[in-house]
Chain A
Amino acid sequence: MQQQSARERLLHGINDRGTNVSGNSAAMNNQAVSKTHMKTKKAKSKTFKENLIGYGFISPWLIGFFFLTAGPLVFSLIVSFSDYNITSKMHFTGLDNYKRMFTADDLFWTSLWNTIYFVVFSVPLTTAGAIFVAVLLNTKIKGMKIFRTIYYLPAVLSGVAVYFLWMQLLSPGTGLVNLVLSWFGVDGPAWLFDPSWTKPALIIMKLWSVGGGMLLYLASLQGVPESLYEAADLDGANMFQKFFHITLPMITPIIFFDIITSTIGAFQVFQEAYVMSKDGDGGPAHSLLFYNLHMWNNAFEVFDMGYASAMAWILFIIIMILTLINLKFGKRWVHYEGGDNK
C-alpha cells in the first residue's frame, strides 16, 4: 500500500525535481559575484553556512544511507566471496558460493523458478485487475464512495492474520473457496496442500487486495481530461474504443511505474510463504520455496552468511536487469502528455 503511493509520487517527483531554488539565496549569489572582494568572502561563508544547515537537515537520512544501505551493500558483496557465518573468522573462498549456487544447489533453481512463476502471473494479473477495478470505480454513479471503500479495505489489511484467513478460506474440506466452487459443480483442488496449486493460491490471495493498486490508477484516471471523451463521443466511439484509445494511453506512465515497482515487490515474496507453509519449509514439494525464503533459510537457519549474501547479490542483479529492461522498453509504449518523453 505504501509502495503504491510511493510510485505515484516518484513519478511526479522526477518531473519537478530540482525546480525549487530559493529565490532569496540565488539573488545572494548573484550579488556576491558582482560586488567587492570582501563581500564575496562574506557570501562564501554564507554558502558554507547554507550547506552546513542543508546537510544538517538531511543528516539522519545520510547516516541511514551509509550505515543501513550503502555500507551493508558493499559489505555483503565482500562477504559473498567468503564462508562467513557470523561467529567464525572470514575466509575468502573466491567464487565458491556462486559456483555452488549455480551448479550444486538444486533448491536455488527451484526457488528461482517458483519466484519467476509467481512474478510472471501475479504482476500482470494484479495490474490488469487494478486497472479494471479503477475504471469501474471511476464511473459517476451514486454511492461510488462506498464501493471505493469496500474495494480498498482488503488492501489495508495485512500481516499474519490475513495469511491465516486465507489458509482457512483455501482449506480443502471446509474452506469457503471450495464451497463456492462446489456450487458450480467444480471439485476444488487441495490448494496449499497440492504442489501444483500452492502458487495459484497465493496469487488469488494477492488479487483480493488489488484495491491498493486501484487507488493509484483511480487518481490518474481522474486526471484524464473529460474533453477527450466528449470528442470521442462525437465521433461515435464505443466504450472499448474509448478505453483502448484514450484511457489506456493516458495512464501508461502509471502502469509503467506500477509494473516496475510491483515486479520488484513480487520478487521479494516471502512472508506469505513463510507463514503459509509450515515454519518456512517451503510447502509441499518445495512449491512455495521462493528465492527469499531460500536465502532466509541459508542466512538465519544455517547462518551461511556468505552464501546468503551471494544469493542477495544475484537477486539484486536480476532485479537491476529487469528494471533496466523495463526502462528501455518503457520508452516505446509509455505516453507522456508533454510529448517530450522525459
Chain B
Amino acid sequence: MKMTGAPKLYQTMKFKRNVKNGFILLILLAGSAALLTPLWWMISTSLKSPEEIAQFPPTFIPEKFHFSNYIKAWSTGPFTRWALNSVFLAVVTTIGSVLINSLVAYGFAKLKFKGRNIWFVIVLATMLLPGFVTMVPQYMLFSKLGWVNTYLPLIVPSFLGSAFFIFLLRQFMMTIPNEFIEAAVMDGASHLRIWWHIMLPLTKPALITVAIFSFNGSWNDLLGPLLYLNDESMYTIQLGLQTFKGSVQTQWNYLMAMSVMILLPTVLIFFIFQRFFIEGSNLSSGTKG
C-alpha cells in the first residue's frame, strides 16, 4: 500500500464505508419490500370484491374498499364465541405458565437439593425431544381420563411446566444475587414467600417474555384444539378458521379478512412489547460475557 498520508487514507476508508453501507441499505430496503408486500397483499385482498380478485393482472390497491367483507366474513360462523374461547384458553395457560415455570425455575436456580443438576440436565434434554413422539401416547392418556372434548388437555400441561420457559427463567434468576435470598432466609422468610415477594418482582422482564410467548403460543395453536376439541361450540379461533376454509372455499376476500383479524392481537402485542422480544435475545448475549 502506498503511503498517502493519514487524512487521505481516512477519507478513502470513510468513502468505502459509505459505499458499503449504501449497498447494504439497498439490500435491506429490497428485503423489507419482499417481507412487507405479502402483508399489504393480505390487507388489500381482504378489501376487494370477488370480481376484482379474479381479474388478471391483480391490482395492488383495491378499486373500491369493501370494508363490509370483514363483517360478512365474521358472521359466517360463531367467530365471536370462538374468539372468546381462545382468549379464555390463552389467559388461563398464560397464568399457569408464568406462575408454575417461575416456581420451578426458582427451585433450579436458587435452591440446593440432591439431584438438582441431574434433573436440570433432563429438563434440557426434553427440549430436544420431538413433541410428536409424545403426542400419540398423551392422547391415549387423556382419552382414558375422559378429557377428550374438554379444555383440560390444553390447560393442564401449561400448569406442569415447560422446559423452555423453565430454562429461560432459570437463566434470568441466576443473574440475581443470592444475597437477596440469604438475607430474607435470615429474617425467617419461607422460600415460597421469597419467591413471591422478591423473585417475581425482580424477574418481571423475563416473566413478561414468558407471558407473551405463551399467550401467542396458545392463540396460534391449531394442533391441540384439532386433536382434543370436537364440539363446534368449544372450537378455538384457529380451529374455527381452519373449518371456515371449507365453508367459503376460495373466497379469498373473506379468508384474508378473517386472517387479518386473527393476526391482529399478535401484531398488537408485538408492537407494544417489542422491547421484550428483542431484549430477550440481547439478555442472553449479555450473560455470555
Contacts of A53 in B (CB 8 A): 111, 113, 191
Quick check: B120 and A222 within 8 Å, CB to CB? no
Chain A: minimal CB distance from B43 (Å):
10
Chain B: minimal CB distance from A20 (Å):
6
Quick check: B182 and A22 within 8 Å, CB to CB? yes
Please provide the chain B residues from 35 to 88 with a CB less than 8 Å away from any CB of chain A in the complex: 35-39, 41-42, 45, 53-58
A267 within 8 A of B: yes
Q: Quick one: closest B residue to A143, CB to CB?
A: B25
Cα-based distance from A54 to B281 in the complex (angstroms):
29
B130 within 8 A of A: yes
B267 within 8 A of A: yes
Stretch at the interface among A30-38, A57-65, A103-111, A120-128: A57-65
Cα-based distance from A166 to B41 in the complex (angstroms):
10
Quick check: A2 and B132 within 8 Å, CB to CB? no
Which of A23, A51, A179, A219 has the largest number of chain B CB atoms within 10 A? A219
Quick check: B130 and A65 within 8 Å, CB to CB? no
Chain B positions 91 through 125: 1 when the CB is less than 8 Å from some CB of chain A, otherwise 0: 00000000010011011111111101101111110
Cα-based distance from A72 to B270 in the complex (angstroms):
35
Query: DSSP class of A's interface residues: helix, strand, loop or mixed?
Result: helix
Which of A69, A147, A208 has the largest number of chain B CB atoms within 10 A? A69
A185 within 8 A of B: no
- Among the listed A2, A54, A86, A165, which residue makes an inter-chain contact with B42, where contact means beta carbons less than 8 Å apart? A165
Quick check: B132 and A315 within 8 Å, CB to CB? yes
Which of B109, B246, B280 has the largest number of chain A CB atoms within 10 A? B280
Contacts of B114 in A (CB 8 A): 47, 51, 54
Chain B: minimal CB distance from A14 (Å):
7
Do A169 and B41 contact each other (CB < 8 Å), given the known contacts A51-B113, A69-B126, A159-B222? Answer: yes
Do A61 and B160 contact each other (CB < 8 Å), given the known contacts A137-B28, A141-B24, A156-B266? Answer: yes
Contacts of A289 in B (CB 8 A): none
A39 within 8 A of B: no
- Among the listed B111, B121, B163, B241, which residue makes an inter-chain contact with A17, where contact means beta carbons less than 8 Å apart? B121
Do A64 and B242 contact each other (CB < 8 Å), given the known contacts A17-B120, A151-B31, A162-B263? Answer: no
Contacts of B178 in A (CB 8 A): 20, 22-24
Do A268 and B131 contact each other (CB < 8 Å), given the known contacts A60-B104, A150-B35, A309-B137? Answer: yes
Which of B54, B112, B262 has the largest number of chain A CB atoms within 10 A? B112
Q: Quick one: closest A residue to B250, CB to CB?
A: A171
B6 within 8 A of A: no
A101 within 8 A of B: no
- Among the listed B57, B220, B287, which residue makes an inter-chain contact with A182, where contact means beta carbons less than 8 Å apart? B57
Cα-based distance from A223 to B259 in the complex (angstroms):
38
Quick check: B191 and A57 within 8 Å, CB to CB? yes
Quick check: B132 and A76 within 8 Å, CB to CB? no
Cα-based distance from A156 to B124 in the complex (angstroms):
24
Contacts of B126 in A (CB 8 A): 65, 69
Could you jot down 24 A-B contacts, CB within 8 Å? A9-B284, A10-B127, A16-B174, A20-B109, A24-B178, A51-B113, A139-B24, A156-B216, A159-B220, A159-B263, A162-B263, A164-B255, A168-B41, A168-B256, A171-B250, A176-B37, A260-B128, A264-B130, A268-B130, A268-B131, A275-B222, A295-B132, A312-B136, A313-B133
Question: A: which residues have CB within 8 A of B?
Answer: 1-6, 8-14, 16-18, 20-26, 47, 50-51, 53-58, 60-65, 67-69, 71-73, 75-76, 79, 84, 86, 133, 136-137, 139, 141, 147-154, 156-162, 164-166, 168-169, 171, 173-176, 179, 182, 208, 211, 215-216, 218-220, 222-223, 236, 239, 260-261, 264, 267-268, 270-271, 274-275, 279, 292, 295, 299-300, 305, 308-309, 312-313, 315-316, 319, 323
What 5 pairs between A and B have smallest CB-CB spacing?
Answer: A54-B113, A64-B160, A57-B107, A72-B137, A159-B220
| Given contact pairs A60-B104, A136-B24, A260-B128, a sample of 18 additional A-B residue pairs in the complex whose CB atoms are under 8 Å apart | A8-B285, A12-B287, A23-B178, A53-B111, A61-B123, A61-B161, A62-B119, A68-B134, A72-B134, A76-B137, A162-B259, A164-B241, A173-B56, A174-B252, A215-B277, A275-B242, A299-B139, A309-B136
